[in-house]
C-alpha cells in the first residue's frame, strides 16, 4: 500500500529542502571533482546537526526511530542539491546491518557513533559487475578478513565496513574496523563519492550472521540502501527536469522560447513522467519495509529511478545545447552523479534479475 | 473493516451472483444484438440492486454515495467480463453532463432514469473528419431556424451511435468569430429525421464507432445546453470527465502475469524464455512502470478519501501504459514465433496478446492522443508554452483549409 | 563491400515498381484478410509473367541466373505494395535448398516448376520461437516424415516443402511433396500469407543433406530468405514513411499542416533514418552471398529491417490519428504485414543471437 | 591494384614511418604545449611528404588530387593517434573558405601555405551566447569605421582560438533588416588589439573551446569575404563543409569490438556477460546500426568514384552514431559495476568507455545538434515544412529578446 505523507513527514521534506538549498552551492561542489579523498564537509556537518544520521536508527542507540520513508525524504532533497557525500546511504546501510544482524555488544559499539555521524560506515558487497556475489572474493577465517574489494563508495572516508566474505561454511556478513585495512582511493568521475579499494590482510573482523542467511541478509541491506539511493536519484532527476523547464521557458531561439518547440517540450513532459513514476515507486517501496514484497518494490524503485536520472541527465544537457556541456554551469555534476548512483547498490541488470526471479516465483 | 471495505465486500458478493447469467461464459458465442439485450438486462439488475449511479444524486435515481464507492464497485465488476461496455460512454460523460447542463428538469430526470436502467443509450458527438485533436476546428453547423436550430454536417468516431437514442453534440453557430468562440452545445434525438449513422470498421475488425451525418436536422432551442457561443467550455467539461475515468496500469491490455506465464512456457535456445536477459529486462521494466502507475492510482484514491485533490501525475496513466502495452504485445508475438500468426478476432484485448497488439493503436489515439497528452502535461502541469497556432484569434471562416 | 546498382538492376527496380503499382490495390488486399486459404492471384501471375520466380535460379533449370541483389530489388517493391502472397521468398528458399544441396535428379524434378512459378515451395524449419531447432521435432526415418510443424508461411498453398527433420544420425534437410501431407490452415491476422500447420504421417520424403552440415545448410537457406524478407520489410517501411510524410504535409490542425509540429516532423525524419539504415544493410547483405561474413550481414539486414517496419507501422498510424485505425484506409495492412514478416524466417531474438555468436567468435 | 589502392598503400607505409616520432606512444605524458609543438612538426612532415592539402589546388600548395585520395589517407592516418587535431578545424573549414572567398590572392596564398605547414592556425568564429542553433540570430556587430570596420561583441565555442593566428567571423552589419540579411563575413587577426580569448572548460575537464571577446577591433575592408549583408551564404557554405567531413559509424567513440571484449571479460550471475541476452541485444543492435552506416559511407565513396553525387542518407551518420554511442557507453560503465567508477580524464574517447560517455553530450551538440539534424532531414530531404519562426522577416532590432 502506497502512503500519503503525514504532516511530520511533510515537515521533514520542507525543512531539509530549505536547509540544503541554503547551504549547497555548485561552486563548492565543482572543485571536489578535481581532487580525490575529499567530500563536502558542510553537507555532512548539516546531516549530523539536523539529525539525519540518526533518523532511521533505534532510539536505544541514539537514533530517532523513524524509517525508510523519512530518510527517503531527506535523500530526495539531497539528490536535488547533489548532496556532497555518500554517507547518508552508506552509514545507514552499515548501521542497519548491525541493528538487524549484530549482537548487543556490536550494536553498543557501533550504533551510537553511526547515529551521531562521527562514525562513517561503508557497505562493501560488490565484486565488479556482481552486486552480490554468490562466492564472495574475500575470505573470513579465524575472525580475520583477507582479500580486496574494489570500488567501494564511501570507503575513502569510512571508519567501519560491512562486508560479505567467504567463511569456512559459506558466506558471512562481517564487520571490520577500517583502521586495520589498507585503502587506496580510486580517481573517479565523481570524486566526492570517496570511492576506494579496500585491501584486507589479516584484518580483524566480526561476524554478524553466517550461513545461508548471510546472503539474504546482504540482499536485504542492499535493498534498504537501494530505496534510499532511488530517492536520491529521483531528487536529482526532478531537479534536472525543473532546470530544463526553467531554461526552456527563458532561452529564445528563432524568435521564440525554445520550450515552444515540441522536441524540447515533449522531452520535458516525458521527463515529468519518468520522475513521477520513480517517485511513486520510491514512496511505495519505503512503505513496504518488512513486507513480503519489499525486495520487489525496492527493485521497482531502483529501476525507475535509475532510468529517470540517466534520461534526465542526457536530456537536460541536450536541451541546453552548448552551454550545457560547460564546466561552469555544472550540469555535469548531475550527469556524473547519475552514473555513480547507477552503479552504487548494484546496476540495473542486477535489479532486473532480482525482480524477475521474484515475479517468476524462483529463488534469487 | 472500514465502511468502504464492507461496501466493497458486499458488492463483490452480489457480483458473484450475477456471473452465471451475465459473466464471460454466459456471453460466449452471442451475436452483438443478443449481447446488447443481455447487457440491458444486466444494467437493469444493477439498477434494481442499487449499483447504478452509485455516486449520482438520489433525486436522479442515483445512490448519493461517493467516488470511492464507485471505483470500488468498478474494480470488482471488472473481474467478470459482464456486458457493460455499451453503457460506458453513455453513463460516463453525456448523461452526467445532461444532469449538470440540461434545462428542463423533468425531462432530464426521465432520461437519466432510463439511461441508468439500460433502456436508453446516449452518445457523444464531438470529433469530425477535419477536427480530431483540434476539437475547436469542427465544421458541423447549427443555423437559427424559427425558434430552434437546423443542424448540418458530419461527426465521426462516435462510439455506440448505432445503438444510441440520444446524443450530446457541439456545433458551430457562428463562423465569424475565432474558432473557440463560435461553438454551442446541444442534445439531439438520434432517431430524428435527417440523422444517418454509418458504422466504421476498425483495423482490428470490429465496428463500435460510427460516422454520423446530419442533414437539416431540426431541434428546438430547449435542446441547448450552453449559452450560444459558449459550447466549448461544456465540451471541455465533458472531456475532463473522460480523462479521469480511465486508469489501468495494464493499458487496457493483458496483465503482466500473462507475459510471465508465456515466458515460462516458451523456450529460446533450449531454455525457458524467462531465463533470457532480453525477456527479463522487458518484464522488469514493464513491472516497474506498472507498479509506479498503480502506486500513483492508489495515492490518488487515498487523497480523495482524505478530501484532497490528487496530483497531476494521474494524467500519465494512459500515455505511459498503452504505449508500453503496444511494444510488449509485439514482443509476445515474436516470442510465440511460428505460433504467433494465429489470430482470433473475437479474443479479448485484455487476455490475448495479438488482440492487444492490433487494438493498441486505437488506445493511443482515442480519448487524447499521446501527443495531446504530452502537450497537456507540458502546458498545464509544467507551464511550458502552447504550440504555435496560426488559427488563434482568427475568425473561423478565415482559417485556410 | 556494398555495391552500386548497375543499369540492369536499376531497370529491374523501376519496371517492377511500375508493374506492381499498376496492379496492386488496397481494395483487393483488404478482403483477403477476412478469408483463409486465399492469396492475391494477380500478384503471383505477375510474378510468373515477369520472370520474378525464375530470377535467382540457374539457367539450366529455367532460371535467369541472377541473384540476391536482383530478387531483393523485386522484394523491396513487393513490400512497398504489400505483395499479395509469400511465395517470392518461400519458393526461392525451397529452390535454393534444392539447388545447393540436392541431387541432379532432385533439381530436375523440382527446379523447373519452381522457376516457372507453377510449383510453389515452402520452407519449414521453425518450431514456435525456435527458428532453427537443434533437435527438430519431426522425424525422418526410412524416407518417411512424421510429426507436425506449426505456423508455416505459404504452406497453405505450397506443393513442396523443405524441412529440417531428425534422422537416425542427426538432423536432415529433407524435401517432401505436400500432396502426401495434411495441412490445416491457421486463421491469422495476415491471411494471405497462407499460414498452415503441416502434419506428416509416413509422408514420403527425400534427404537433401544430412549430418552436421544439415543445420548449417538450413541456416544458410534461412539467411538467404532473411535477406529477401528484409528487402520486403524495408520496402514496406519506406512506403509507410512516404505515406506519413504525404499526410503530414496535407492534413491541417490548429491552422497549420501537422508536419510543422516537431512531434510529427522529427518522427518522420527518424523513420527516414531507420529506412536508410535498413536499405544500406540490405544492399550490403545481398552483395555478400558466398562470403565469410554473409550470415552476419544477413542478420544485420534482418534486424534493421524488422525495426524499421515495426516502427514505421506504429508511427505512421499514430501520425494519422483516428483515420489511421480505420479498416478502409488500410494502414493496418502494413501493420499486420510488419508483424508477419517479423516472425517469418526467425524473429529478432534469433538473429541477434546468430549475429553475436559470430561477432564473439563462438559457434552458432 | 587500382590507382587508389596503390595510393593508399603508399600512404599507409609512410604513416608507419611516422609512428615512432609522432604516434600515440610518443605523445604519452606530454603537456599540451609540447604536444602542439610536436603536432606542428608532424604537420610539416606531412607537407614535405605531399600529404597536406591532398585535394587542394596545386597553386595553393596542395596536391591537386581528389576527395577519394584524401579520405583514404585520413582513414589510414586515424589508426595511429597522431597529434593532428589542432589543425582539423583550421584546414577543414576556414582555410578552404579563405581560398574560395578571400580577396587578395597573394596574401591568401601565403596564409594557406603557412596553414598547410602547421605554422599558422585558423579558427571559426560563428556561435554566440544567444545564437547557437539559431546562427543568424548573432549579435556581434561590425560598424563602418573610416575605410574599414570596427567589431564589438562576443563569440563562443570557438575551438582552438587560444592557439589561432587568424579566424573567420560572421558579424551583424545591419540590424535594421531581417536577421539573415544583415550579416557580413570577414577574416580577423586573432592577435589584433581588442581581441581577448578565454578558454572554456568542458564537462569532461578539457578546454579546447573558447570565448572570444571583440572590443573595438579595427579591420580593413580588405578583410571582407562576402558582400556587405551577404555573409549568411558564406557561413552556410562553411557549415556545409563541416557536415560532410565527419563520418564515423562509431560516433567518434570506441569500436564495438572493445565492447565485445569487455562483455567477454565480465561476468553476470557467474557467466560471461556476452551470454546475457540484454548485452547480446545491445551488441547486435549497435552492430546492425554501425554496419548500416558503414554501408552508406562505402556507397557514398563508390558514387563519388563513379562521378555521382551521394544521397542524403550520409547526413544520418552523426545523429545516429553519437546518440547510440552515449547509451552504449553508459552500459559499459554499468557492466563494470564497482570497477566503473574509475576515470582517467586523459584517456581517449575512442578507446575508453568512460571518456566516451562523458564527452558524448558535446558530440550530440557540436556541429549541428540532434534536433537541428532532424530538422534538416525533415525539411531538406523529406520536404516537411519549416518550424514556426516568429522572427522570420522581422528586422533584427525588433525581435524581442
β-bridge pairing C144-152 and C196-210: antiparallel
CB-CB neighbours of D240 under 10 Å: 11
Interval D183-202 mean pLDDT:
96
Cβ under 8 Å to B: D residues 266-295 = 276-281
Give tens-digit pLDDT for B288-315: 999 999 999 888 878 877 777 777 888 8
B163 in any annotated domain: yes
CB B280 to CB D278 under 8 A?
yes
β-bridge pairing A196-210 and A252-253: unpaired
D271 touches chain C (CB under 8 A): no
Which cell is D182 given? 544583415
In Å, how far is B386's CA from the nearest CA of chain A?
Answer: 6
D390 in any annotated domain: no
Residues 6+ apart with CB under 8 A from B176: B182, B395, B396, B397
> Which chain A residue has the Cα nearest residue C261?
A262
CB C304 to CB D281 under 8 A?
no
Please indicate, yes or no, whether residues D68 and D35 belong to a single structural domain of this protein.
yes
D392 touches chain C (CB under 8 A): no
Candidates C5, C281, C294, C350, partner chain D, best to mutate (most D CBs within 10 A): C281
Local structure of residue B384 (DSSP, 8 states): P
Subunit partners of chain D (3 or more CB pairs within 8 A): A, B, C
Domains of chain C listed by start with CATH number? 7-116 (1.10.540.10), 121-211 (2.40.110.10), 216-359 (1.20.140.10)
CATH, residue D99: 1.10.540.10
CATH, residue D156: 2.40.110.10
Q: Sort A135 into a burial class: Cβ within 10 Å, 0-12 / 13-18 / 19+.
A: exposed
Per-residue confidence band for B139, with pLDDT thresholds at 50, 70 and 90 = very high
C11 touches chain D (CB under 8 A): no
Q: Whose CA is closest to B222, among B140, B104, B109?
A: B104
Q: Is pLDDT above 90 for D237?
A: no
The answer to whether D138 touches D194, Cβ cutoff 8 Å, is no
Please indicate, yes or no, whether residues D218 and D153 belong to a single structural domain of this protein.
yes
Question: Which of D158-167, D274-283, D361-370 has the lowest average pLDDT?
Answer: D361-370
Distances (CA, A) of B190 to B119, B160, B195, B196, D164: 14, 11, 6, 8, 78
Give tens-digit pLDDT for B56-79: 999 999 999 987 888 889 889 988
D380 in any annotated domain: no
pLDDT score for B395: 86
Last residue in a domain, options D116, D137, D168: D116
Residues 6+ apart with CB under 8 A from D276: A349, B277, D268, D269
Instruction: Give the angle B109-B113-B116 at the CA atoms, nearest 5°.
Output: 140
Give tens-digit pLDDT for B257-289: 999 999 999 999 889 999 999 999 999 999 999
Please indicate, yes or no, whether residues B222 and B282 belong to a single structural domain of this protein.
no
Q: Sort B266 into a burial class: Cβ within 10 Å, 0-12 / 13-18 / 19+.
A: buried
Domain count, chain D: 3
CB A349 to CB D388 under 8 A?
no
Residues of C in contact with D281 (CB under 8 A): 352
B375 in any annotated domain: no
Residues of D in contact with B388 (CB under 8 A): 388, 390
Question: Which of B307-321, C275-289, D109-123 has the lowest average pLDDT?
Answer: B307-321
Please indicate, yes or no, whether residues B88 and B186 belong to a single structural domain of this protein.
no
> What share of chain B has pLDDT > 90, as a percent?
70
Q: What gap in Å lies between CA B242 and CA C86, rounded to an integer?
A: 44
Residue position matching grid coordinates 571490520 = A176
Cβ under 8 Å to A: C residues 114-153 = none
Q: Sort B390 into a burial class: Cβ within 10 Å, 0-12 / 13-18 / 19+.
A: middle
Last residue in a domain, options B241, B269, B297: B241
Interval D181-186 mean pLDDT:
95
Last residue in a domain, options D86, D116, D146: D116
pLDDT score for A289: 95
The three state secondary structure string of D100-158 is: HHCCCHHHHHHHHHHHHCCCCCEEEECCECCECCCHHHCCCEEEEECCEEEEEEEEEEE
Interval D60-77 mean pLDDT:
88
Q: Is pLDDT above 80 for D244?
A: no
Residues of A in contact with C266 (CB under 8 A): 262-263
Residues of D in contact with C244 (CB under 8 A): none
Q: Sort B349 into a burial class: Cβ within 10 Å, 0-12 / 13-18 / 19+.
A: buried
3-state secondary structure of D167: strand
3-state secondary structure of B170: strand
Interval D124-146 mean pLDDT:
90
Interval D186-209 mean pLDDT:
94
Of B133, B270, B334, the CB nearest to C321: B133
CATH, residue D275: 1.20.140.10
Please indicate, yes or no, whether residues D48 and D77 belong to a single structural domain of this protein.
yes
pLDDT score for D61: 93
D393 in any annotated domain: no
Q: What gap in Å lies between CA B329 and CA B352, rounded to an integer?
A: 9
ipTM of the complex: 0.93
B377 in any annotated domain: no
Q: Is pLDDT above 90 for B400?
A: no
Q: Is pLDDT above 70 for B241?
A: no
pLDDT score for A364: 35
In B156-270, where does DSSP find H-type helix? 231-245, 256-265
Beta bridge partners of D151: D142, D217
Q: What gap in Å lies between CA D320 and CA D298, rounded to an integer?
A: 17
Q: What gap in Å lies between CA C288 and CA C294, rounded to an integer?
A: 5
How far the first Cα of chain A sits from its last, in Å, is 24
Please indicate, yes or no, whether residues D306 and D204 belong to a single structural domain of this protein.
no
3-state secondary structure of A149: strand
Q: Whose CA is closest to D88, among D254, D171, D208?
A: D208
Per-residue confidence band for D245, with pLDDT thresholds at 50, 70 and 90 = low
Per-residue confidence band for D242, with pLDDT thresholds at 50, 70 and 90 = low
Give tens-digit pLDDT for D7-52: 999 999 999 999 999 998 999 889 989 999 999 999 999 999 999 9
Please indicate, yes or no, whether residues D127 and D237 belong to a single structural domain of this protein.
yes
Give tens-digit pLDDT for D80-113: 889 998 998 999 899 999 999 998 889 999 999 9
A65 touches chain D (CB under 8 A): no
Element (H, E) at A340: helix A331-343
D400 in any annotated domain: no
pLDDT score for B81: 85
pLDDT score for B350: 87
Interval B9-33 mean pLDDT:
94
Please indicate, yes or no, whether residues D355 and D285 belong to a single structural domain of this protein.
yes
CB A266 to CB C263 under 8 A?
yes
B386 in any annotated domain: no
Which cell is D350 given? 575512442
For chain C, the farthest-separated pair of C-alpha atoms sits apart, in whole angstroms, at 73
Q: What gap in Å lies between CA C264 and CA B163, rounded to an integer?
A: 36
Please indicate, yes or no, whether residues D102 and D131 belong to a single structural domain of this protein.
no
Average pLDDT along chain D:
92
Show pLDDT as tens, one digit a residue, over chain A (364 residues).
468 899 999 999 999 999 999 999 999 999 999 999 999 999 999 999 999 999 999 999 999 999 999 999 999 999 999 999 999 999 999 999 999 999 999 999 999 999 999 999 999 999 999 999 999 999 999 999 999 999 999 999 999 999 999 999 999 999 999 999 999 999 999 999 999 999 999 999 999 998 889 999 999 999 999 999 999 999 999 999 999 999 999 999 888 999 999 999 999 999 999 999 999 999 999 999 999 999 999 999 999 999 999 999 999 999 999 999 999 999 999 999 999 999 999 999 999 999 999 999 854 3
In Å, how far is B55's CA from the nearest CA of chain A?
Answer: 24
A266 touches chain C (CB under 8 A): yes
Please indicate, yes or no, whether residues D199 and D258 belong to a single structural domain of this protein.
no
The answer to whether A79 touches A236, Cβ cutoff 8 Å, is yes
The torsion angles phi and psi of D275, rounded to 5 degrees, stand at -90, -5
Question: Which of A25-34, B230-239, C214-223, D264-273 has the lowest average pLDDT?
Answer: B230-239
Please indicate, yes or no, whether residues D111 and D162 belong to a single structural domain of this protein.
no
Which cell is A71 given? 530518510
Average pLDDT along chain B:
91
Range of the domain at D300: 247-366
C108 touches chain B (CB under 8 A): no
Please indicate, yes or no, whether residues B129 and B233 belong to a single structural domain of this protein.
yes
Residue position matching grid coordinates 554499468 = D334
Give tens-digit pLDDT for D54-65: 999 999 999 999
Helix, strand, coil proportions of chain B in percent (round to 5)?
55, 15, 30
- The answer to whether the Cα torsion of A37, A39, A41, A45 is positive or negative is negative
3-state secondary structure of D86: helix
CB-CB neighbours of B228 under 10 Å: 16
pLDDT score for B246: 54
Candidates B259, B285, B378, B383, partner chain A, best to mutate (most A CBs within 10 A): B378
Residue position matching grid coordinates 520550450 = A259
Which cell is B317 given? 496513466
Amino acid at each position: 500500500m502506497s502512503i500519503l505523507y503525514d504532516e511530520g513527514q511533510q515537515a521533514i521534506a520542507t525543512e531539509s529542502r530549505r536547509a540544503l538549498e541554503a547551504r549547497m552551492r555548485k561552486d563548492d561542489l565543482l572543485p571536489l571533482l578535481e581532487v580525490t579523498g575529499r567530500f563536502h564537509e558542510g553537507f555532512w556537518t548539516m546531516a549530523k546537526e539536523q539529525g539525519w544520521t540518526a533518523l532511521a536508527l533505534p532510539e536505544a542507540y541514539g537514533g530517532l526511530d523513524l524509517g525508510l520513508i523519512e530518510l527517503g525524504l531527506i535523500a530526495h532533497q539531497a539528490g536535488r542539491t547533489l548532496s556532497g557525500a555518500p554517507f547518508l546511504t552508506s552509514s545507514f546501510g552499515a548501521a542497519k546491518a548491525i541493528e538487524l544482524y549484530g549482537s548487543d555488544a556490536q550494536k553498543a559499539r557501533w550504533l551510537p557513533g553511526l547515529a551521531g555521524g562521527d562514525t562513517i560506515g561503508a557497505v562493501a558487497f560488490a565484486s565488479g559487475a556482481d552486486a552480490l556475489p554468490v562466492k564472495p572474493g574475500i575470505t573470513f577465517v579465524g575472525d580475520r578478513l583477507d582479500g580486496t574489494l574494489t570500488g567501494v563508495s564511501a570507503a575513502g572516508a569510512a571508519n567501519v565496513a560491512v562486508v560479505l566474505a567467504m567463511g569456512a561454511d559459506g558466506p558471512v556478513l562481517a564487520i571490520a574496523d577500517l583502521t586495520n585495512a589498507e585503502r587506496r582511493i580510486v580517481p573517479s568521475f565523481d570524486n566526492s563519492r570517496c570511492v576506494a579499494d579496500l585491501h584486507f590482510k589479516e584484518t580483524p573482523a566480526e561476524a554478524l550472521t553466517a550461513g545461508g542467511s548471510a546472503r539474504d541478509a546482504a540482499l536485504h541491506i542492499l535493498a534498504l540502501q537501494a530505496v534510499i539511493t532511488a530517492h536520491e536519484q529521483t531528487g536529482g532527476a526532478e531537479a534536472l527536469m525543473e532546470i530544463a523547464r526553467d531554461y526552456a521557458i527563458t532561452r529564445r531561439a528563432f524568435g521564440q522560447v525554445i520550450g515552444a518547440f515540441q522536441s524540447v517540450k515533449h522531452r520535458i513532459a516525458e521527463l515529468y513522467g519518468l520522475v513521477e513514476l520513480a517517485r511513486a515507486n520510491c514512496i511505495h517501496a519505503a512503505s513496504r519495509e518488512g513486507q513480503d514484497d519489499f525486495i520487489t518494490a525496492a527493485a521497482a524503485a531502483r529501476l525507475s529511478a535509475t532510468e529517470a536520472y540517466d534520461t534526465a541527465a542526457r536530456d537536460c544537457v541536450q536541451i541546453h545545447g552548448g552551454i550545457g556541456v560547460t564546466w561552469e554551469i555544472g550540469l555535469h555534476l548531475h550527469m556524473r552523479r547519475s552514473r555513480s548512483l547507477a552503479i552504487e547498490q548494484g546496476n540495473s541488470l542486477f535489479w532486473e534479475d532480482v525482480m524477475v526471479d521474484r515475479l517468476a516465483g524462483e529463488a534469487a | 473493516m472500514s465502511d468502504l471495505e464492507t461496501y466493497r465486500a458486499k458488492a463483490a458478493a452480489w457480483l458473484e451472483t450475477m456471473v452465471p447469467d451475465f459473466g464471460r461464459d454466459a456471453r460466449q458465442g452471442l451475436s452483438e444484438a443478443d449481447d446488447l439485450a443481455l447487457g440491458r438486462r444486466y444494467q437493469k439488475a444493477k439498477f434494481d440492486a442499487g449499483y447504478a449511479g452509485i455516486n449520482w444524486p438520489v433525486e436522479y435515481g442515483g445512490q448519493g454515495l461517493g467516488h470511492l464507492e464507485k471505483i470500488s464497485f468498478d474494480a470488482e465488476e471488472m473481474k467478470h467480463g459482464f456486458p457493460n461496455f455499451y453503457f460506458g460512454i453513455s453513463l460516463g460523460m453525456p448523461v452526467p453532463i445532461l444532469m449538470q447542463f440540461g434545462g428542463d428538469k423533468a425531462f432530464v430526470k426521465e432520461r437519466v432514469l432510463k439511461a441508468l436502467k439500460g433502456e436508453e443509450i446516449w452518445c457523444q458527438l464531438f470529433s469530425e473528419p477535419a477536427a480530431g485533436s483540434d476539437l475547436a476546428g469542427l465544421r458541423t453547423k447549427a443555423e437559427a431556424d424559427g425558434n430552434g436550430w437546423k443542424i448540418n454536417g458530419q461527426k465521426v468516431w462516435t462510439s455506440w451511435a448505432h445503438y444510441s437514442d440520444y446524443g450530446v453534440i457541439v456545433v458551430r453557430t457562428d463562423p465569424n468569430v475565432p474558432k473557440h468562440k463560435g461553438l454551442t452545445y446541444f442534445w439531439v434525438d438520434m432517431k430524428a429525421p435527417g440523422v444517418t449513422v454509418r458504422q466504421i470498421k476498425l483495423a482490428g475488425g470490429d465496428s463500435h464507432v460510427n460516422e454520423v451525418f446530419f442533414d437539416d436536422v431540426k431541434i428546438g432551442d430547449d435542446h441547448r445546453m450552453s449559452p450560444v457561443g459558449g459550447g466549448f467550455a461544456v465540451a471541455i467539461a465533458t472531456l475532463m470527465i473522460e480523462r479521469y475515468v480511465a486508469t489501468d496500469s495494464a493499458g487496457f491490455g493483458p496483465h503482466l502475469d500473462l507475459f510471465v506465464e508465456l515466458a515460462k512456457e516458451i523456450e529460446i535456445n533450449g531454455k525457458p524464455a524467462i531465463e533470457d536477459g532480453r525477456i527479463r529486462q522487458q518484464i522488469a521494466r514493464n513491472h516497474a512502470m506498472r507498479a509506479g502507475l498503480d502506486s500513483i492510482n492508489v495515492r490518488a484514491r487515498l487523497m480523495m478519501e482524505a478530501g484532497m485533490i490528487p496530483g497531476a501525475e494521474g494524467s500519465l496513466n494512459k500515455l505511459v501504459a498503452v504505449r508500453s502495452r503496444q511494444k510488449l504485445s509485439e514482443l509476445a508475438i515474436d516470442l510465440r514465433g511460428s505460433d504467433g500468426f494465429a489470430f482470433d478476432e473475437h479474443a479479448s484485448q485484455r487476455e490475448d496478446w495479438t488482440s492487444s497488439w492490433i487494438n493498441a493503436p486505437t488506445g493511443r489515439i482515442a480519448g487524447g492522443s499521446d501527443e495531446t497528452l504530452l502537450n497537456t502535461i507540458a502546458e498545464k502541469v509544467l507551464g511550458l508554452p502552447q504550440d504555435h497556432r496560426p488559427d488563434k484569434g482568427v475568425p473561423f471562416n478565415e482559417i485556410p483549409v
